[in-house]
Structure 1
Amino acid sequence: MNLDPPNNDPAPAEERRRPQGAAPQAGDGASDLSNTPPSIPKIPSCDLQTGGEDWLDFSLYVNHSRFKQLSERFDQAQRLAKQHVALEPIEFGGHAWTLSAGAASAGTGKKRVFYRWRLQSNNGLVLLLMNREKRHRTMPNALASAHSTLLMSEGAGSVWRQLQSAFRDLGARLVESKLSRVDPCIDCPYVKVDAFTQPYMDQHFVTRARIDAAYDHEEQFVDRSGGTYRFGSRLTGYTMGSGDVRLRVYDKAHEVRFKPEKQRLLYQRRCGDLFIDATRVEFQLRREWLKKQGVQTLEDWFAKRGAVLEYLTQKWFRLTDGPYDRKHPDRTPTLPIWQVVQEKAQQWAGQSAGEVLAPIVGEPPRLDQLVLQAVGVMVTAMARENIKVNSNAFFLDELIERIDEAIETRDMAEEVYRRAIELGVYKP
């Protein structure tokens, strides 16, 4: 399976470096960036991208073949780590991994799930493993997360290949994967964030989002009143939306001013030259929203991301050139700088080819699956009632007795017939 994203035709160097509406700044140059290494060369425009994935989370379903040896090895390393014993990194999948002393968790509240081992590779990829040898039907027994520095440096396709290689070396088979979160972003070097914040403050935008969301830090969007964030009195960006799809627009140059590694990657992957101003437009998409667009896996994302970003930048949110007509919002022209965002999104994600953004229709459950589900429900019911089951025969007798009581006054032949009609599967 080839999961390399398409290599889209890059824009000319001047188009990438000076987007429409972004005039060159008077102080452009190395002397104006105190944290900028002067030795960074200019990068050819053919090596630059206008955006990319800034965050990836995966839910993974894995079957282990050497789980006993693996768990003993990880448990021993974890015990030593708790005793503050210096350990050599664990080598697998072509990378060195560090095992955390404690367990890890994912989710919040009643949905929080604990994972016994947390590993982080030398390039930043994080892997959580559950103490479970075989995959569960609905609960992932492994999670993986890749963040901005790794993704900008190596790309989403490379991260996925690293994961596959890691599981092969661990003697595990990756049975199924689901994309839990992806943050696609569009970068606008040499564009001041004011070009985006002023129209927002003037209410010159059309959106399908709920607006009351505030940005707290890069790893998490939090819901609370207010949609802007500042550095002192200066407005440095804003957020839109809540729940499973969100947007933030912010001053990227300001964010990386004390982060030399991220500065270097922006030079090499986005700008090709030194910069003073840069604005990022970033979406956060979580699993429930992705499922509604028919995106289950990373392969689905690569196939549909052009269509997804077209929808997000043209219909879900856009800045308008002046006040918009509430009765006819589609007639209000798009602000030129937002047109640049739309073009840049298509340059790196690919042009939409009319892909349908709709849930994937799955196969209906088989009869044996439904029977197993019914048995599981009955097991839970008997356990809750503290019924002492001493054999399969006893369980079956109890099950038949309960079912007989439940259908005593019902016409099951008629009910099955009507349900077959409803499902469209009736055959005379």
Structure 2
Amino acid sequence: MQYQNHQFDQNSTSQKPLNQTYTVLGEFEPPARSASADGRSEVAQCGEVSATVDAPLSLAKTSEGTPPSNTVPLNYNPKTFKALRYGIDSLYVSYPGVIAEDWDIKLNNLKEQAQSEDETQQALAQVVIGQHIFEVKDKGKGRFSYVLVDNSFYLQASNGKSKALPMAYVQISSEYLAHVGVEQAEKSLQFIVNTLGLVHEPANVSRGDLFVDFCADLTMDSFDPLQSWITRTQSIDLHYRYNKFSGWSFGMGGEIGARLYDKTLEVEKKSRKFYLHDFWKAEGWDGQQTVWRMEFEAKREVLKQLGIYKISNLLELQSALWLYLTQDWLRLAIPSPTDSNQTRWLNHPLWDDITQVFNSDKEQQKLKRFSSARVPEDERLFVHGLGGITSFMAREGIEDLGEGIGEYLHQAKDFHEKRSQIHGAGMDEYVTKKVKSKNRRFNSINNRQDDFSD
């Protein structure tokens, strides 16, 4: 795999003030600053996007977009733009509160089991809350003592001695959001967190990722990084994967970050989220054209300054937030050879299309099938999983699959029979131990269902 990265520094004089765009929704006292995933103030983590701390106090809900440009580049036909899907892709929330004493003890015991050298004990490091079978990790994360994981949530919980941290800090997976939506996902999460302890107030939004997936007949690496992109960040990067251009990134690591990248390539090579293909095809994707994703991640500190504290704020103001991100924080412009003032440069027509996507009230399709279990996909099981058997057949000179599987099991049983004289466990015991270990890792079966000590 080939990877290249090119970084460019933007001249900070191109940044324009934030406080001229949006008005205050209402007067209220913002809540106390929350902690981030590793327990540090989110302001302390702010990297290159220092200008974002001057953001307005809140966003005005508006449907106005940037006026369309009247000069269309010769290499782009705006009629080829097609928005395939948009919304909130990933969500991080925190819950101020205190973990219950019995849950503190229970999670600590499960964490110690996960640290055991005995694989049988490790397999018992699970906890069931509602419909979720969580794997309990052997280590905490940052200043959080406990980590509980399944396909819906990545939950970090503090112990009973912690006073400064929220009780829980949780990432809601993009796949679960695609299945039930933001409100239902957070409602399910509320039940889990309320089970663990006393929650003092509704969830604070610590980070929200907004996105649009689209097709457009345009070469995405044709823009001049120092002219075409007008942004508040000092960092612009081009990325290459698998011998092709894969995208741009802007200000990653700061309070706001953005990416424009080849989503078809990312699905094929990395995330394997092939369910997105069905969403795209329902909106007219031909299965061949490159789908690009424009994605912004906005963290706690800047969200607070924009008036977004709770889930309800985010849902109400997501369109206004998108406009702020695509008008004030980053935009793609048509450089003017006769005007050095970048603020007067017209938007590239592609950017006008991207900016206006969230103005639509069209309901997004939901993922029909979803499981909180993190089970491996069929290709891993039935392609890669056959590797051991095919290697055995080649070694033994066997070409018939049925004969090969039968002989494989026969010799495997003999091997484990001899091995048991040293390790004390035959093939059946070995397989049972491995299945239970994977039950925990895949969230598929509760290994503790016969353990009455819970």
Matched, 1:191 2:210: no
Q: Distance in 2 between matches of 1:71 and 1:117?
A: 9
RCO higher in structure (CA 8 A, sep ≥6)? 2
Q: Answer yes or no: is the 8 Å Cα contact 2:115–2:138 preserved in 1.
A: yes
Q: Does 1:306 align with 2:319?
A: yes
> Could you say if the C-alpha distance between residues 268 and 328 of structure 1 is closer, same or farther in structure 2, counting changes exceeding 3 Å?
same
Structure 1 residues 200, 93: closer, same or farther in 2, change over 3 A? Answer: farther
Q: Does residue 124 of structure 1 match 2:139? A: no
Partner of 1:317: 330
Does 2:108 correspond to 1:68?
no
When residues 202 and 131 of structure 1 are mapped into structure 2, their CA distance, relative to the original with a 3 A threshold, is closer
State the number of aligned residues.
Answer: 282
**TM-score normalised by L of structure 1:** 0.58
Alpha-carbon offset, residue 118 of structure 1: 0.5
The aligned runs of 1:58-207 (5 Å cut-off) are 58-64=93-99, 67-83=100-116, 84=119, 85=121, 86-87=123-124, 89-105=126-142, 114-121=143-150, 123-132=151-160, 136=163, 138-188=164-214, 190-191=215-216, 194-201=218-225, 203-207=227-231
Partners of 1:325 and 1:125 in 2: how far apart?
A: 52
Note the alpha carbon deviations across 1:125-178, whole angstroms, 9 max, x for none: 111111127x84x53232111233333333222221121111233353353532
Gaps of 5+ in 1: 1-7, 9-18, 25-47, 106-113, 214-226, 351-428
CA distance in 2, matches of 1:321, 1:146: 38
Percent identity between matched residues is 21
How far apart are residue 230 of structure 1 and its match? 0.8
The DSSP-based 3-state class of the residue aligned with 2:189 is helix
Residue type matched to 2:330 in 1? Answer: F
**1:317, distance to aligned residue in structure 2 (A):** 1.8
Report the CA distance between 1:264 and its aligned residue: 1.3
Equivalent pair of 2:84/2:279 in contact (CA under 8 Å): no
Q: Secondary structure of 2:148's match? A: strand
- Report what 1:362 is aligned to: none
**Are the equivalent residues in 2 in contact too, given 1:204–1:324 (CA < 8 A)?**
no
Write out aligned runs for 1:339-354 (5 A): 339-347=352-360
1:201 Cα deviation after fit = 4.5
Matched, 1:236 2:271: no
Task: Name the counterpart of 2:91.
Answer: 56
TM-score by length of 2: 0.55
- Unaligned regions of 5+ residues in structure 2, if any? 1-62, 64-76, 364-454
- Once the two structures are TM-superposed, the CA of residue 315 in structure 1 deviates from its matched residue by 2.6
Q: Alignment partner of 2:268: what SS? A: coil
Question: 1:71 deviation in Å?
Answer: 2.1
How far apart, CA to CA, are the structure 1 residues paired with 2:251 and 2:337? 19
Q: Does 1:334 align with 2:347?
A: yes
Amino acid at match of 1:237: G
| Conserved 8 A contact 1:94-1:166 | no
Q: Distance in 1 between matches of 2:136 and 2:107?
A: 8
Q: CA shift at 1:237, angstroms?
A: 1.1
Assess, with a 3 A threshold, how the Cα gap between structure 1 residues 349 and 327 changes in structure 2: closer, same or farther: farther
Judging changes above 3 Å, is the alpha-carbon distance between structure 1 residues 146 and 204 closer, same or farther for their aligned structure 2 residues? same
C-alpha distance in 2 between matches for 1:143 and 1:234:
37
Residues 260 and 283 of structure 1: CA distance in aligned 2, closer, same or farther (over 3 Å): closer
Distance 1:206 1:88, change over 3 A: closer
Q: Does 1:281 align with 2:294?
A: yes
Cα distance in 2 for residues equivalent to 1:286 and 1:50: 22
